[in-house]
């Protein structure tokens, strides 16, 4: 069985486990009913340095749950890295949601380099404000005031995030090159 077919089977199994029909899969990527809520967490990166969400106040923060075995997660990394590098008003934080050794993440990041911080999540004790993701990838958008304003379940692109900020966000965004 090839990896693409296996990924599709896993997605459909997750949809069924979540109580969704496969026909609703087109709607799963954009969750509109997130209530604005102030959130906080502090997690170590793969080098052991702590990152607090409060450290990024004043910026949009993209909190992206991922795992090494998740094909759509791997596909997001270059695009999210480019957004992280090219937008002075957006920081991406990758939350590695996988019970594995740090060296496995380091090896993975050689093949799939991310320019943004990769934070380690204890899968048995994830950040309380978010909990465990319902599916991977899952992406949360935090506004410059530290409020959780939007969620995407499933793959996301920098265009989707930038468009949401432009259409729904507060204030101006600045691009630098």
CATH number at residue 125: 3.40.30.10
- Position 164 scores a pLDDT of 97
Task: Name the residue with tokens 């949360």.
Answer: 140
* Number of structural domains found in the chain: 2
- C-alpha dihedral sign at 62, 128, 105, 5: negative
Do both 77 and 158 map to the same domain? yes
Do both 65 and 46 map to the same domain? yes
Do both 102 and 162 map to the same domain? yes
Higher-scoring residue by pLDDT: 89, 36: 89
**In this model, does residue 24 exceed pLDDT 50?**
no
Do both 132 and 91 map to the same domain? yes
Strand 118-120 and strand 90-96: pairing?
A: parallel
Higher-scoring residue by pLDDT: 2, 102: 102
- Position 58 scores a pLDDT of 96
**In this model, does residue 17 exceed pLDDT 50?**
no
- Position 8 scores a pLDDT of 45
Do both 21 and 60 map to the same domain? no
Do both 58 and 128 map to the same domain? yes
Task: Categorize the per-residue pLDDT at 26 as very low, low, confident or very high, splitting at 50, 70 and 90.
Answer: very low
Contacts of 134 (CB under 8 A, 6+ apart): 14, 18, 153
Do both 61 and 20 map to the same domain? no
CA dist., res. 116 & res. 93, Å (int)? 6
Q: DSSP alpha helices (H): ranges in 18-145?
A: 71-86, 102-111
- C-alpha dihedral sign at 117, 92, 71, 44: positive
Q: pLDDT tens digit string along 115-168?
A: 999 999 999 999 999 999 999 999 999 999 999 999 999 999 999 999 999 999
Do both 43 and 103 map to the same domain? yes
Mean pLDDT for 64-72 is 98
Residue 177 lies in a domain: no
Do both 69 and 1 map to the same domain? no
Task: Categorize the per-residue pLDDT at 22 as very low, low, confident or very high, splitting at 50, 70 and 90.
Answer: very low
Do both 122 and 53 map to the same domain? yes
- Position 169 scores a pLDDT of 81
Do both 91 and 78 map to the same domain? yes
Terminal CA-CA length for the chain: 43
User: Which residue range(s) make up the domain with 61?
Assistant: 31-168
């Amino acid at each position: 069985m090839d990896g693409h077919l296996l990924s599709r089977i896993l997605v459909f199994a997750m949809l069924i486990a979540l109580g969704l029909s496969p026909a609703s899969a087109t709607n799963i990527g954009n969750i509109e009913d997130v209530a604005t809520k102030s959130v906080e967490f502090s997690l170590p990166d793969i080098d052991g340095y702590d990152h607090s969400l409060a450290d990024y106040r004043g910026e949009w923060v993209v909190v992206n749950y991922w795992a090494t075995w998740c094909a759509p997660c791997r596909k997001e990394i270059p695009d999210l890295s480019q957004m992280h590098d090219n937008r002075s008003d957006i920081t991406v934080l990758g939350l590695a949601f996988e019970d594995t050794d740090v060296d496995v993440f380091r090896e993975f990041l050689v093949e799939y380099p991310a320019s943004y911080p990769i934070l380690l999540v204890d899968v048995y004790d994830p950040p309380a404000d978010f909990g465990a993701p319902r599916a991977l990838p899952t992406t949360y958008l935090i506004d410059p005031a530290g409020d959780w304003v939007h969620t995407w379940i499933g793959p996301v692109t920098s265009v989707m995030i930038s468009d949401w900020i432009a259409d729904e966000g507060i204030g101006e965004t600045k691009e630098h090159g």
